[in-house]
Amino acid sequence: MLLQNKKIAIIGGGPGGLTLARLLQRKGADVKVYERDESRNIRVQGATLDLHFESGLKALEEAGLKDAFKSNYRPGADRLRVVDENAKIFFDEHSEESTSDFGDEWFRPEIDRGPLRDILLDSLRPNTVVWDSHIVSLTRPDKTWEIIFQNGNTVSADIVIGADGAKSKIRPFVTPIRPLYSGVTVLEGNIYNSKKNAPKIHDLLQGGKIMGLGDSKTISVSAKGDGSLDFYTGWKTDANWITESGIDFKNSKQVLEWFKKEYSSWDQIWLELFEAENTNFTPRPQYCMPLDQKWEAQPHITLIGDAAHLMPPYAGEGVNMAMLDALQLSESLTCEKFTDLKSAIAHYEQQMFTRFAEIGKETLHNTGFMHAPEGLQKLLEMFTESPT
């Protein structure tokens, strides 16, 4: 076995990193996950995730966690309403009877990030995840990696896998290629107790999802199982808008005034998203790795998830890509046909490059048309076409 007597360090405890740890542990590998969060409950997890038959769900099945997923997913949370800036409904899955179920390739069940993370964490051996491990440097003085963390701890590993997201500290050790700005920035927010604090949007959601398009802008909203909702506004602007806007994103009044101007043609119902008290706002410029990215494989380091192929969220593939990365990398590292680690990692990376070139192209296409004048029309055409 290629991993015999090898210490594997996975940097990042998101869905990709945790899925990889679970899959490798099932094959007997020595794995640690180093996560910057101080504990598993320190940070509110983001919006709901729809897992896909050929990727996220497949990885969970191979990890032996399909039943746990079925016990925690949210039936009906995948139901979508597509609306215009006036909240007029043009496409409504709530009015349709769902016949899809597990085993159907078009069934994409939703789960909140928190419960998915818990499923994965609880599946790991005790002390697999080392919390409060914010990496500050990585060196290879001899035949092993030395990883230094902000808390002063230092660990060694034979193999390092970067699962540390968009601002990966591991990526520069694999490739100098940098992401490109997509032209769109997102402002993310979360509202607790949406029934009380955003009642009109809550009623429009019906426990599912909203995608609003108009005036070359978007607003997407997702209901969560704890009674809160997450929302994302998306619009075209410069890459350095965050600093040039002068907005204090901890000041909800400033953010509200910005929204009133930027989304001036949108109905007042959307103001609920910005008038609620104690809303945390996070601006996120949307970047994408070059679709033709390639690098030469190394025998002791690689990347998965956003660290490997950062892209905007407008195809719903991010977490699914990360979990499929985890599955394919675990298969390569434990496959008997490979006689050395470099060949195994190269096999995984080639699969990942090919997938990203296709899905990244689709994602950038969606990002472009959804933030164009014809966005609503094109999205409706996409949803009303029959799957082939």
Q: Is 325 annotated to bind ligand?
A: no
3-class DSSP state of 234: strand
Quick one: tokens of 341?
A: 């680690």
Residue 69 CA to residue 54 CA, distance in Å, equals 15
Burial class (CB in 10 A: 0-12, 13-18, 19+), 274: buried
Is-contact 253 274, C-beta < 8 A? no
Q: Is 113 annotated to bind ligand?
A: yes
Q: Is 36 annotated to bind ligand?
A: no
Supply angle C-alpha 251, 255, 260, rounded to 5: 150
Is-contact 295 348, C-beta < 8 A? no
Residue 274 CA to residue 330 CA, distance in Å, equals 43
Alpha helices (H) along the chain? 15-26, 56-62, 66-72, 113-122, 194-197, 199-205, 241-245, 252-262, 272-275, 306-309, 318-333, 341-370, 375-384
In sequence order, the β-bridge partners of residue 155 are: 147
Is-contact 274 252, C-beta < 8 A? yes
Residue 40 CA to residue 167 CA, distance in Å, equals 20
Q: Is 122 annotated to bind ligand?
A: no
Residue 204 CA to residue 81 CA, distance in Å, equals 8
Q: Return binding residues for NADPH.
A: 43
Q: Return binding residues for FAD.
A: 50, 113, 306
Q: Return binding residues.
A: 43, 50, 113, 306
